[in-house]
Structures are given as structure tokens and as C-alpha cells.
Amino acid sequence: MTVGGLKNHTVRLYAGEGIMDNVFYAARLNAAKKNTRLMSREGAAELLGLSVSTLANYELGLTKVIPPDSVVMMADLYNAPELKCYYCANECPIGQGMPIPTNHCRIEQVAVRAYDALSSPHLDEAKKNILSIFGDGKLTEENESTIERMIAYTGSLVKTLYELRLACQKLLSEGDRKTW
């Protein structure tokens, strides 16, 4: 799991019978490196305007569906926009079928992937096919496989570009202009 730059970081929480990973807890701990009030659940709950027990329930996975406004507040406070994506990809019935990035990667990794995706011959093919397939407003059997390839490619492209957007947002909001 990658959350808030903590690649393969396992957060050990004892909830019921087992140990579990929790992206909200991991994001809070990562944010605590810059804001010590977030080290404690009490401090984070106060800043979020939540009760300590509510935040504990979120972090322990005891809340079946976390309210979207709480996810937005955590994402903003923790500077972890990937929490919104995680929520949409895993909790929202509409978002579950969409190409939503859920991992936070270093900006240089995402930039290389975005450059490759935009330089791909698949992009040129997709551009040509848009007019040839959709120009006449008719779907033929011959075009179906081409459309399926376009759906797969554009989904991958959208996901990569959105991941780049998230990485840029995070970079700009961190305020550390030295290096990344």
C-alpha cells in the first residue's frame, strides 16, 4: 500500500481479531511529521472537528462508510489528496468503476509515466480513430474492438494524468520548494 508517500508502510492496528492496514491512520501519521498535533488522535480530532471516538472508528475500520465530508477534511488537513481518490475508488459505488488513482508516487515517477503515455503511439491511434469511427455517428461491428482498445487506453491515460495532478497539488501545498 502507498499512502502519503509511505510505500509498503504497514500500519498495525489491533481491531477485533487481526492487524489491518488503514490509509487514514497512515496519512495522519505521515502528516504528523510536519504537524505534531496530528501525532495524537485527540489533536487530530480537535483539528478536524470530530470526536476522538469517531476518528478512532475511522482509523480502526469500525465505521462502515466514512462520510465524504470527513474524508475531504482529513485529506485537506493531512495534505493527502490521495485519500479522496482512495475513498472514491473503494467506497463510492459510482467511483468504483472509474479510472481513479489510489497510490501516491513520487512526482518524478508520475511525470515519466505521463510523458510516456502522452508520447505513446496509442494516443495518435486514438486521435485518428475518434474521427473515423464517430464522425458518421454509426457503430459498426468492425469498430467495436477499436472502441474497446480506446476505452482501455484512455482509462489508463486519465488515471496517469490525474495521478500527476495529485502529485503536483501535493508538491505545491507542501511549501517546501527545495527539491522533491
**Residue range 25-70, pLDDT digits in tens:** 999 999 999 999 999 999 999 999 999 999 999 999 899 889 999 9
Q: For the chain, what is the largest distance between any 2 Cα atoms, rounded to a whole number of angstroms?
A: 61
pLDDT in tens, 73-104: 999 999 988 898 889 888 888 877 777 776 66
* pLDDT interval class at 175 (50, 70, 90): low
Grid coordinates representing 78 are 493531512
Of the candidate CATH numbers 3.30.360, 1.20.1260, 1.10.260, 1.10.10, the domain formed by 2-97 belongs to 1.10.260
> For residue 7, how many other CB atoms are within 10 A of its CB?
12
Grid coordinates representing 120 are 505513446
- Look up cell 502529485; give the residue: 167
Q: Where is average pLDDT lowest: 83-92, 135-144, 168-177?
A: 168-177
Distances (CA, A) of 153 to 13, 53, 125, 156: 38, 43, 10, 5
Does the pLDDT at position 24 exceed 90? yes
- Look up cell 469517531; give the residue: 54
Distances (CA, A) of 87 to 14, 46, 149: 22, 22, 27
Residue 63 per-residue DSSP state: S
Q: Are residues 79 and 176 in contact, defined by beta-carbon separation less than 8 angstroms? A: no
**Domain locations in the chain?**
2-97, 107-174
d(CA 175, CA 173): 5
